[in-house]
Structure 1
Amino acid sequence: MRIVLGIEYDGSAFFGWQWQEGGLRTVQDAVQKAASNVANHSVTVICTGRTDTGVHALEQVVHFDTQAERSHHSWLLGINANLPDDVRVIWVQEAVGDFHARYSAIARFYRYIILNRPTRSALQRDRVTWCHQHLDAVRMHQAAQNLVGSHDFTSYRALKCQSVSPMRKMYFVEVYRQNEQVIMDISANAFLHHMVRNIAGVLMSIGTGDKPVRWAEELLASKNRQIGGVTASPHGLYLGGVFYPEKYGLAKHEIFNKLPANAQRFQHET
């Protein structure tokens, strides 16, 4: 039996998602131990996409295979009872057909939150990126539209990125202001290492007026990461959710109902 979980976590105190040698605290290790306790045997948890140190998740989707028979309610309560306070399973269901948390996904959605005010926040310090210079969200949004579509994103991936191909299809990038926050909502078929944070860094330079609007497009065309912008902090980055074909019967996170109109239209296309 294959069990599918929707998980949220605060990544502030984790060394990313993926299990690592040396006893480092990771989300995968915490979830695997909790699920194994409930299943009464060792399980391996597969995620949609690995998140880096300090990155959060509103809804990470994972699966594991088990011989144990438990009700959805028992899996939910049992796993959560064995998890630390900064990780929670928010839903459970059995996999349909050939479902695979990573390979069945057709798009990933991330949200990047920037606190844009003169002073840092005591309460949000690990959950937002801080920028004291005023950001022009309209300029940032305009620049970001040049990244939509299928492109070679070499200029926006980490130099040590191990992906075989830099080609990705960007479905939408929405940048908008909500009071003191500037928010970037972004979705693609998949993302390269540090891709979202590198895009955020470039757009922030454009938003402050340090760089022109055309800079985002010029970097894309250059296919050269070494002339790209600063990689933005991980603290403002959230894996917001995952799009799967409807045949798998996975409901989209409620956050999708709150996306700007242009982004909402994408839901119908998938």
Structure 2
Amino acid sequence: MRTILFIPARYASSRYPGKPLATLRQKDGTTKSLIQMTWEAAQEIAGVDAIYVATDDDRIAEASRAFGAEVVMTSDACENGTARCADALRVLGETPDLVVNLQGDAPLTPPWFVEALIDRMANDPTVDVATPVLRCDAQTYENFTEDRRHGRVGGTTAVFDQDMKALYFSKEVLPFIDPDKRPDPIPVFHHVGVYAYRPEALASYIATPVTTLETLEGLEQLRFLVNGTPVACVEVEARGRLFWELNNPEDIPRIEGALARA
């Protein structure tokens, strides 16, 4: 099964302009850009045949080539990472069996998160789109609730049915939990910003208009749900590692702390 991995990256983020080129301090005291850290994380994933940074920005392209990445220049009309992956596939002129979208703001993504998606889709031809979900531990749940208390739009939560098919994704913390009645384990699942698609699902996605829910939530995957394409949620385990995306400048200390403890 030929698998291509794209790291979609744009400079003009509304919440954090220039985010892919933001630098983070590493455990050894050196610094690396977010896009380089994500590219290096992608190198550790088994089962991937080719890795590309997909961007419309010359600054990101130049920085990516400097650390050794292959770059695909995409249209500046791509409204999100899924659309950028579809456009990158068009530019390459390839039709692989599987496309992986490793979003450039998640350098802490362990390789086994993505490998679980590849395995799921290799073993179940009925799955057209898959994404990982991670049960929140106490620290991650506190990160979510702290962001909401301070009015920050942080990570995304996922709600799914008994067959692990997504019911909804939200920037709110779902389901709601009474602070005085918080169960253990915590029934909140962090949606990991990684997707695996079959090329046909990508083609269908870009042929479908933008939907109201994805605009309101700012979550591209809701277009699949609104238009009846099931999204398989694949539960993964952190194995003792903290996972968090870089959504806001306030996330940098969280991620640098995780790197220091690694």
Class of the TM-score when normalised by the shorter of the 2 chains = under 0.3
Bigger strand share: 1
Pick the structure with greater CA Rg. Answer: 1
Query: Whose helix proportion is higher, 1 or 2?
Result: 2
TM-score (norm 1): 0.24
TM-score (norm 2): 0.24
